[in-house]
Amino acid sequence: MTPNAGRLDGKTAIITGGSQGIGRATALRFAGEGASVVVADVNEENGRATVAEIEDAGGEAVFVATDVTEMDDAEALVDAAVDAFGTVDVLVNNAGITRDATLKKMSEEDFDRVVDVNLKGVFNCTKAAVPVMAENGGGRVLNAASIVGRYGNFGQTNYVATKSGVIGMTKTWARELGRDQITVNAVAPGFIDTAMVETVPEKVIGRLEDQTPLGRLGNPEDIANAYLFLASDDAAFITGSVLAVDGGLVL
Ligand SMILES: NC(=O)c1ccc[n+]([C@@H]2O[C@H](COP(=O)([O-])OP(=O)(O)OC[C@H]3O[C@@H](n4cnc5c(N)ncnc54)[C@H](O)[C@@H]3O)[C@@H](O)[C@H]2O)c1
């Protein structure tokens, strides 16, 4: 037993969408466990604030301005991570957006934008990071799915399509990348108290809390803890899984 060892000591982790919400909580949690963290986001101000918070707590982090929808940005992100910390061990594909409307009202533009960020962004960053991981003898890819990707949700055709797609890519990559010792898993959060759910009406939130066996929304830290487990050595033999972290909302 090594006393006080961080669970991610010596690891480098890229966290897309790390400027706020679940990504920010994950960046802080990983850095607290000894990881060198690369915060990748389109929101530079919040991203730099996350990095400053990590550094103030004695951790190591850099911000890289990244639009995950651009393959060039994804490649530059991985290059920047290697420049800063020597390699990439963990990629958390967390960046995501919503543009909700019913099928009847959803514009083609809103469909395409959500697919670009939530689905193609995950493809771009994973494609860019995997060669470095493979060369390094292995790695972890962690994808942000959602319970709605398994069960659907009213008013979220585009978002649900991407989250179901992320689950499909997770399983496909687990099959393809196992021989490189790269594990690929997804986390499927329930409703988590971040900016993303601010648009959900209060009475709907109340109903969701009532339907959740644990009686509350999740915190960003609840999801960060799941990512930490899947990134840690404890999860070495887990790949292709979708871990629900939803307080029992969907059983
Ligand atoms: N909050 C929830 O209830 C919930 C539930 C299930 C799944 N999720 C998923 O978890 C992830 C994080 O959600 P959150 O609630 O923290 O959201 P959030 O809106 O608080 O944060 C999302 C982050 O992604 C960044 N981002 C958006 N577009 C980007 C792009 N093109 N390139 C790079 N970064 C970009 C944003 O700037 C922001 O910092 C998302 O993938 C979301 O779909 C959230």
| pLDDT computed for residue 112 by the predictor | 98
Measured distance CA(217)–CA(199) in Å, rounded: 14
Measured distance CA(82)–CA(204) in Å, rounded: 44
Count of domains forming the chain: 1
User: What residue ranges line ligand 1, CB within 6 angstroms?
Assistant: 16-17, 19-23, 41-43, 66-69, 94-97, 117, 121, 144, 146, 189, 191-192, 194-197
Cβ–Cβ < 8 Å for 140, 180: no
pLDDT band at 1 (very low <50, low <70, confident <90, very high): low
Exactly one of 85, 159, 173, 191 is catalytic; name it: 159
Q: Please indicate, yes or no, if residue 70 is contained in any of the structural domains.
A: yes
Rounded mean pLDDT, 8-32: 98
Residues 98-116: tens digit of each pLDDT: 999 999 999 999 999 999 9
| pLDDT computed for residue 96 by the predictor | 98
* Position with higher pLDDT, 4 vs 223: 223
| pLDDT computed for residue 117 by the predictor | 99
Residues 195-204: tens digit of each pLDDT: 998 888 899 9
CA of 179 to the centre of ligand 1 (A): 30
pLDDT band at 2 (very low <50, low <70, confident <90, very high): low
| pLDDT computed for residue 239 by the predictor | 99
Q: Please indicate, yes or no, if residue 120 is contained in any of the structural domains.
A: yes
Q: Please indicate, yes or no, if residue 248 is contained in any of the structural domains.
A: no
Residue 93, domain extent? 12-241
Q: Please indicate, yes or no, if residue 1 is contained in any of the structural domains.
A: no
Q: What is the CATH number of the domain that holds 176?
A: 3.40.50.720
Q: Please indicate, yes or no, if residue 205 is contained in any of the structural domains.
A: yes
| pLDDT computed for residue 199 by the predictor | 83
Cβ–Cβ < 8 Å for 190, 196: no
